[in-house]
Amino acid sequence: MANPRDNMNARLPASLSDREFQRFSAFIYDHAGIKMPPAKKTMLEARLQKRLKANSIGSFEEYSDYVFSQDGRATELIHLIDVVTTNKTDFFREPGHFDFMVKTALPNILAARVPSRDPVRIWSAGCSTGEEPYTMAIVLSEFAVGRPDFRAAITASDICTQVLQTARTGIYPEERTDPIPLNLKKKYLMRSREKSKSLVRICPQLRSMVSFRRINFMDDDLGLTEKMDIIFCRNVVIYFDKPTQQTLMRKFYKQLKPGGYLFIGHSETLSGLDVDFKAVASTVYRK
């Protein structure tokens, strides 16, 4: 006769052993640069449960074997990274940065460059669901008023494929757009025809300014052929250790044009890193 406890145990969520946690955390650090200390074991376990369920796998040991198999590396690793990345963002987050970009960075960049039809190139590095690059597009469109020769191109990247899918659509719950000033909402947002859904969409003019792509900061070649005038990488490197931060900042320095600007989050600093950036404002640096 079957023991009822066996059925009960079969329904219990899988438990992540210390050995498997170490294996996953080492991979996540090597592949994505994200620190996963022991204090985050419970968080990792909860997030990976989703992948066990999606793959109909009953244990973390079995999932680990699958992830690191040839088939798993081809199909599952990207989903593993998706569930462990943190994606918090807002429209007009840390608004002082956008003020500095309009009042200082852009005038300096335009004054120093030889007149050309080349656009000002801006990279939103770690763009999450798209609020940051679309905020840039709003700000740049307003800056362009009265400047018929001004053009801008925004590259927006993230390591997480799920958030990039959301970003590409440009569709958001209406309450997500609360930080956008009312006059700009009227100008750049389109309401859903289905009033009950309370959704808005970024207008085609802004969507056409942004090119989304998946970029892993840990890759030796980031795949960007154009040098940037401005890079925003805010509230991302706090998840990296110092050596990883330094490696990434050197990549950003190389990717910027001379005189280009780097914006980082207000809780972040380049202090203690061996990089050549010059601080020009709070959490704003220049090459």
Return the active site residues.
47, 158
What six digits make up the tokens of 35? 């620190």
Decide if 14 contacts 58 (C-beta within 8 A).
yes
The rounded Cα 12 to chain-centroid distance in angstroms is 34
Decide if 83 contacts 44 (C-beta within 8 A).
no
Decide if 135 contacts 90 (C-beta within 8 A).
no
Terminal Cα distance for the chain, rounded:
74
Decide if 41 contacts 16 (C-beta within 8 A).
yes
- Dihedral of CA atoms 59, 60, 65, 66 in degrees, nearest 10, equals 80
